[in-house]
Amino acid sequence: MACEPDAPPVWAHRDGEAWLIDLHVQPGARTTVAVGEHGGRLKLKIAAPPVDNKANAHLLAWLAARLGVPKSSVALVRGDASRQKTVAVRGVERPWLDIVEQP
């Protein structure tokens, strides 16, 4: 999945010093990977079960590692118990490039 380097996709919005990333999360996958867009959100498969906040913790740790920022720079804003989540990311200029590019 490719993104324009200069234009943010529909699921990434600037909010002051942070980027808000709208996600559709599918927990319980074999690996954590971005798989495309779903309803105006970036769809991520998460390799963690949706119990005891494990999927949310895994999501935030994966995003921080993927973007090369400390875990404290990534926060869940909305969707604690939902597949529809919004995450705030600080310390990056164009997070969509690092999230969607596969290793």
Domains of the chain: 12-91 (3.30.1200.10)
pLDDT of res. 103: 53
pLDDT of res. 88: 98
pLDDT of res. 77: 98
- How many residues would you count in the chain? 103
pLDDT of res. 97: 82
Residue 27 and residue 50 in contact, taking contact as beta carbons nearer than 8 Å: yes
Residue 49 and residue 61 in contact, taking contact as beta carbons nearer than 8 Å: no
Collect the ranges in the chain with pLDDT lower than 50.
none
CB-based contacts of 15, cutoff 8 Å, min separation 6? 88
Q: b vs e for 46-81, b when ≥16 Cβ sit within 10 Å of the residue's Cβ?
A: bebeeeeeebbebbbebbbebbebeeebbebeebee
pLDDT of res. 15: 94
